[in-house]
Each structure stands twice: as structure tokens, then as C-alpha cells.
Amino acid sequence: MSNHEKFFINGQWVDPVNPAKMQVINPATEEAFTEISVGSSADVDRAVAAAKGAFPAFSATPMTLRLALLKRILDAYNDRIEDLAQAVSNEMGAPLSWAREAQTWAGRVHLKATIAALEKFEFESQRGTTRVVKEAIGVAALITPWNWPLNQIVCKVAPALAAGCTVVLKPSEIAPISAIIFSEIIQAAGVPDGVYNMINGTGQDVGHFLSAHPDVDMVSFTGSTHAGIQVAKAAADTVKRVAQELGGKSPNIILDDADLETAVRQGVEKCFGNSGQSCDAPTRMLVPRSKMQQVYAIARQTAETMRVGDPRSDETLMGPVVSELQFQKIQRLISLGIEEGATLVAGGLGRPEGLTRGYYVQPTIFGDVTPKMAVAREEIFGPVLVIMGFDSEAQAIEIANDTEYGLAAYVQSTDMIHARSVARQLRAGQVSINYPEWDTYAPFGGYKQSGNGREYADWGIHEFLEVKALIGFGSDAVIN
């Protein structure tokens, strides 16, 4: 029996209080492949009450029991890998190979990273006669996006449970089926009733009520900067903690001493990965002005290798973007880039040749882009790369930092000392040098309007903890 039209509350699959449904669209076909129920404030009240009721007992459980629980979740997750991959491919149009090797893989490795972090985590420490205790903050509302659904669900649920919090998850209504399967995984792992709850719905009808709810102690939100501001405003009246991972417009500085062929090719591929729908994608390529024509040639050639098409085909490297709304936004910004005078190096308006249905976008590259153009400043969230020239290293750093965002940045150089020096000057929460492997133990989060707080491994656990000082506790007691 399908749970697509149910919510998971207090250990049970339940119907919404007020029946209402929404179609889930496969962006490759533009057709609905299933329906979900969407919730209301009444469903929020039920889920929060369940989490609040479960909190006293769960927060008091020994760390060893929470660790065993996370390991059971990992085992159950591994049992459903193919189901998760199929769901992600259907709901967001990801090529099956990408859904398996990146999307579902991300959830697994973050579970592993949280487990490893919890095994070494110190919840108590001693400073003189004061015992410093880190305790679960309480009921956590977790609001996750559609672009990396399993990555963001696990990056919030796993550390919250590790810390001893109880949670209410609201996944994106655009990509909700992977979250429903994840909730089935939670049930199979034997998570105590009320510790984990999941309800579907829109940001306006569920996300807002969760953020404002007086019995929610913390909100962890990933999404656009605009939506993050609304979450923070809703949470402000109850002075709850808000952790946010928001938008990005990440610079990729290719220094004069970089291996140009490798740096440009990999930069284009990273920008277009996940159909350009990653908040930390290197969407602004900064290159020495004297090498612009060489860069354009390499970038164009790379874009032409990005086979766009049916997510079910083994040959497909890039699927559609997630929705008609997203497709129209990207088309509008491509059109604006042309109007502003940027040069089309590759791609452009409309679908790729031969595709007449589905929200497919041509892998698009703009050259001759200036820092004030909209395509250089707005988060497009699609397969669109802008290439900008610089005359000096100082100018490259200035352009890189000239943004309201600060989530990620990239530096390419064959001289590691040189690259490290530039990386230290970039105002971003995560700076990658020479395209390293994904590090699930590194802190992830942003500066400026890219948010606050950090995720991954022990960094994520800290976000769900309060710090208590037991003054005069004594220095002779044994730390638990």
C-alpha cells in the first residue's frame, strides 16, 4: 500500500486533518506520476505535539542508544537505495545514474559521517569547577528543498537525532516521494514513536506554521534566500533558533598559473551537474582576460559534450530542471543576459534540439559578462555559466567577493601556496581548491545572505544543542 497520501506522525501513517491533494509532476514528461496530501496548521499541531511529547524521554536516552539507532537507520536506508533512486529520478528528473551515484549516495555518506562524529562527540567538559553540558535544544522543525532532497533530509535528521532532539520534517512539495520513502526507512529502523514526524505541504501552509509554532524550539531551513527571510521572520516572535543554508552565486577563480584545459573543463562540468541546480555550483568563472578566447573554446567544447535528455537513458548526463516555474525563470534570465550584451558562447533560449517536451534547458555559457549584469548577480539555479575576465589577481578577488552571497568559492592553480593565499581572501563558508572530492566532514554553510550555521558531521550536531553551565559542580566528578 502506498503512503503517498499520508503523513507520518507519532509512529503511524495517518490521513491529513483536512483532506487536500497535490499532483507530483515528473519534469521529464510534464505529467503527474502520483499525488500527495498537503497539510494545514492542524497537521502541524498534531506533528509538533507528538514531537514535544516524545522529547523528554528521547533526549534522556544514552548516546550509545542514539548511536545504535542511527546505525539501524543506515542499514534500512541501504535496503531501499534503488527505491530512493527511482523516486528522485521521477520527482526531479535526475538521470538514474546521477540519482544512484550522487543523490542517494549523499544521504548514505552523511549518515556515515554523523555516526562517526557521534562516536567521538563530547557532550560534557570541565572548566575549573564548572561542568559545561551540551543538551538537545528540543523540538526541531526541518524544512528541506527539492534539489538535493536526500542530502538535505539526512543532513538535518541525522544530527538532530544524534543530539537527542525530536523532529518534524517538511520536505519540498515538489520532490516529496523520496521523503516518504525515508519516513518508511525511519519506521523500519524502529525509531521511537513521536521522535520523527513528517508532513507534506507548501511553505505557506505548513512551513510558515512550523516556523512560527510556539512549541518548536528550532528551525533548520534550506532553500532560497527569499524563503529563508520569511522563515526567520515567522520564527522571530518566539525567539527560536534558526539555522539557514540559503542561496549562492559561487565564484570560480582560474588563476594565471592554472592548468587551463583541466580547470575550465571541470569548472563547466561542476556548474552543469544536477542540471545546474546546486546552491554551491561554481556559476561565475573568473579567468585572466588575456586567455578569454582559449577559455571560450574549451568551455564551448565541454558544453557540447553534455548530453541532455531522457533520465532513463544510460547516455544522458543532464536531465530537465525541476519544474515549469524553474524553466521559465531560467529562460527569462538567459533572455536578460542577451539583452544586457553578454555573448552566447554556448546554448541559449529554448529546449535542446530534438526535445519538444519536458523542462529541458540548453547548457548555456555567457562570455563578455560584467559584474553588474543580472546573470552575474542573480542565482539562476539552472545550467547557466557566466565567464568574467580579470586584469589582476586583486581584481579577481574583488569581483569574487562582490556578491550578496557567500556560500562557496573555488580556486584553481598549479601552485598550492598561491591557491591557499587566494582562498583565504574569499568571503565564503567553503572554498574548494583544485576541485577536491566532496568532504562530508567539512563544515558546510555560508557567509552573508547565504545563511548562518553549519552542517555535516559534528558541525551539524552542534547546531541542535544548547550549552548549559553547571557552576560550582566541582572538578572531582567523572564526566559522563
- The residues carrying an active-site annotation are 245, 279
Quote the longest CA-to-CA distance of the chain.
75
**What grid cell was written down for 400?**
569574487
8 A C-beta contact, residue 254 and residue 298: no
**What grid cell was written down for 127?**
572548566
Using CB atoms within 10 Å of the CB of residue 341, give its burial: 0 to 12 exposed, 13 to 18 middle, 19+ buried.
exposed
Using CB atoms within 10 Å of the CB of residue 379, give its burial: 0 to 12 exposed, 13 to 18 middle, 19+ buried.
buried
Nearest Cα to 264, choosing from 251, 248, 252? 252
Residues 351, 356: Cα–Cα separation, whole Å: 7
Three-state DSSP class for 152?
helix
**What grid cell was written down for 407?**
556560500
Angle subtended at Cα 281 by Cα 279 and Cα 286, rounded to the nearest 5 degrees? 130
Nearest Cα to 279, choosing from 173, 403, 380? 380
Nearest Cα to 439, choosing from 77, 100, 162, 109? 109
8 A C-beta contact, residue 412 and residue 427: no
